[in-house]
Chain A
Amino acid sequence: MFRFILKKLLYLVPTMIGITLVAFGFIRLLPGDPVLLMAGERGVSPERYAQIAAQLGYDKPVWQQYVHYLGNLLQGDLGNSLVTKKPVLDEFLALFPATVELALVAIIIATVIGVPVGVVAAIKRGSWFDQISMTGALVGFSMPIFWWGLLLIILFSGVLGWTPVSGRISLMYFFPQVTGFMLIDSLLSGDEGAFASAVSHLILPSVVLATIPLAVIARQTRSAMLEVMGEDYVRTARAKGLSPRRVIAVHALRNAMIPVITTIGLQVGVLMAGAILTETIFSWPGIGKWMIDSISRRDYPVVQSGLLLIAAIVMIVNLIVDLTYGLINPRIRHK
């Protein structure tokens, strides 16, 4: 197992370096002088220009600039935002919990609904439940989620008036931030109204974000179940006279879950892309909205480092998925 983990980690190194190269190259590919872009100033004097260039290390050859950049990264220095002047890393860490909370709730919704739907659809293959749920899954898979979010706002906020249109919590509640997760913090504050407010703010965005993963998980679970149920060991279990329920729960489901867990893990990238759209629609103060705002404000240090951090997170989660996969499926580990 140790060798397996080590191999996977080593495999990650070139990709990590590649990601830093993309982030490093991004600023230099932008139209315009990178020094001025990173400084965010206009009409600078030649002295000031030289000063900024030296400060950012842009007066040296490109490979030294890259080494300089990597050195800063390793020290946790990701530059400062042009707009707020605060360190990018601090901003990221302040906004990240909001996105994690949204994404976690979304993936929980998607799994809790998607897996049972897929299992039942596979068991009752060809039934009306199978047909309706799989048609629904294909619709969900084809959904432009930015439009879906707007529709839900029209219905639940506009017509029914059940949920707020935007934000994480009503402004009237104030309590200490312990975990950064609104749901947990509001619970800890002991104020039931605050918790209810947090839930009502979270429900629409998380449903919107869950839509595509839910569809993917349901489809994947169904096909994994169908495949497993045709295997010899399932037929053997049935022939032994085990109850159908036991065959499905013990023999089929456990084996079918292996590819499904991978699928769930691989939704992280989908969730990050979806978070950009969902957070924009619901004014959710997370890193997706932060990236969009930074791109439109030309706050390039934020875009550069945000790109790097998001890619790194997606890779790390994918690594964890890989390792879990090796843990539950020894065949992969020993290959």
Chain B
Amino acid sequence: MTDTTVKISDAAIRRRMLREFWFYFSQNRGAVIGLVVFVLLVLTAIFASLIAPHDPTQQYRDALLVPPIWQDGGRAGFLLGTDAVGRDMLSRLIHGAQYSLFIGIVVVAIALTGGIIIGLVAGFFGGWVDTVIMRVMDVVLAFPSLLLALVLVAVLGPGLTNAMIAIAIVYQPHFARLTRAAVMGEKAREYVTAAKVAGAGNLRLMFKTILPNCLAPLIVQATLSFSSAVLDSAALGFLGMGAQPPASEWGTMLAEAREFILRAWWVVTFPGLAILVSVLAINLMGDGLRDALDPKLKRS
């Protein structure tokens, strides 16, 4: 230990950690591609109304089921064709990005917050508190996630908000379990004992001392949940239980397109492709994050 290391400020340490993180993340080609696609997706969602050539709900009555521009019968105004009531596919897809990102963010935020609090309490206090909480989480996990989300939506009523709440409830146990496991590993460490001896209260110990050291697995799980949330909410939309028409949510678009599958391939193909590309990009990022944040993998 030289004098210089002592002088390094918190900000410098953080900068160094970020640089190290980026080094490992950028070595994964897939992860970088995923990140680029994801950034493009975010930009599309933010500037949707500027990019989209048409209003996503505007029905052009003279242009029903127009094929994409490169196919016979395609029209210059509609790059990816139109749907059964004459709405521009491209504009709807662009606006659909808003739904998917919004759903992902809200679901992960709710599930993460709830899961962290539940997991912290269970792991920190242990004993019967832990037993009761974890048994309840086991019950939630016993149901297939999509089924439980469906039933919750049946209770709450179909719609985007309720679908997001339902999916968040279903995902919560994963975060709670991860947090609990990490907390139990950290709890016995010396720095926690030191903080306790120094007089830190339970809340401070939980949130300021222990939690920051448990974040790596939670970040990875958050990315995975983000992509699952996009998939599950699209599935709910497809089953008529998520966002309701005329919303340009991708799953809902697919549900409306189902009866035209043998007549107009484009109304089915593009929304699904949009879901696949977004989910794939997020999963690629998740893989990269896991590699960069997992010290075990770094050494090998």
Contacts and interface: CB of A to CB of B under 8 A. Distances in A.
Interface of A: 14-15, 18-19, 21-22, 26, 29-31, 135, 138-139, 141-144, 146-148, 150-151, 153-154, 157-158, 230, 269-270, 272-273, 276-277, 280, 291-292, 295-296, 303, 307, 310-311, 314-315
Interface in B56-107: none
Contacts of A151: 268-269, 272
Contacts of B112: none
B143 A311 contact: yes
Contacts of B275: 144, 147
B154 A311 contact: no
B284 interface: yes
Contacts of A30: 154-155
Interface string B126-142: 00000000011011001
Interface in B140-158: 142-148, 150-151, 154-155, 157
Contacts of A146: 234-235, 238, 251, 254
A277 B150 CA distance: 12
Interface in B232-286: 234-235, 238-241, 251, 254, 258, 261-262, 265, 268-269, 271-272, 275-276, 279-280, 283-284
B283 A272 contact: no
B142 A311 contact: yes
Given A30-B155, A154-B261, A314-B142, A144 B227 contact: no
A204 B251 CA distance: 21
Nearest to B230: A144
B155 A273 contact: no
A18 B283 contact: no
Q: Which of A142, A157, A315 has the most chain B CB atoms closer than 10 A to its own CB?
A: A142
Given A15-B135, A147-B268, A291-B150, A272 B254 contact: no
A128 to B, nearest CB: 14
A269 B240 contact: no
Contacts of B142: 15, 18-19, 311, 314-315
A314 B143 contact: yes
A147 B272 contact: yes
Contacts of B262: 153-154, 157-158
B186 interface: no
B231 A144 contact: yes
A14 B144 CA distance: 18
A311 B151 CA distance: 13
Contacts of A272: 144, 147
A307 B139 CA distance: 12
Given A19-B139, A144-B279, A303 B151 contact: yes
B217 to A, nearest CB: 16
A160 B155 CA distance: 42
Nearest to B145: A273
* Chain B residues touching A, range: 35 or more
Contacts of B157: 31
A230 B150 CA distance: 44
B261 A18 contact: no
A62 B254 CA distance: 43
Contacts of A270: 144
Nearest to B279: A142
Given A147-B268, A150-B254, A273 B147 contact: yes
A295 B154 contact: yes
Nearest to A280: B239
Contacts of A314: 142-144
Given A30-B155, A144-B272, A276 B147 contact: yes
A197 B143 CA distance: 34
Contacts of B272: 144, 147-148, 150-151
B269 A273 contact: no
A148 B275 CA distance: 11
Nearest to A308: B143
9 A-B pairs with the lowest CB-CB distances in the bound complex, closest first: A147-B272, A18-B139, A273-B146, A273-B144, A142-B279, A142-B280, A272-B144, A158-B262, A144-B275
B104 to A, nearest CB: 13
B283 A141 contact: yes
Given A29-B155, A157-B262, 8 more contacts: A15-B135, A138-B280, A139-B280, A142-B276, A142-B283, A147-B276, A154-B268, A230-B300
A292 B239 contact: yes
Contacts of B258: 150
Contact of A291 (B30, B147, B227): B147
Contacts of A143: 276, 279
A135 B281 CA distance: 12
A278 to B, nearest CB: 11
Contacts of B135: 14-15, 18
Contact of B268 (A15, A150, A311): A150
Contacts of B235: 144, 146, 277
A100 to B, nearest CB: 15
Contacts of A154: 261-262, 265, 268-269
Contacts of A273: 144-147
A307 B284 contact: no
Contacts of A311: 142-144
Contacts of B231: 142, 144
Contacts of B145: 269, 273
B136 to A, nearest CB: 7
B139 A22 contact: yes
B265 to A, nearest CB: 6
19 contacts: A14-B138, A15-B138, A18-B138, A22-B139, A26-B151, A138-B280, A141-B283, A144-B235, A147-B254, A147-B268, A147-B271, A147-B276, A150-B268, A151-B269, A154-B262, A291-B147, A291-B150, A295-B150, A295-B151
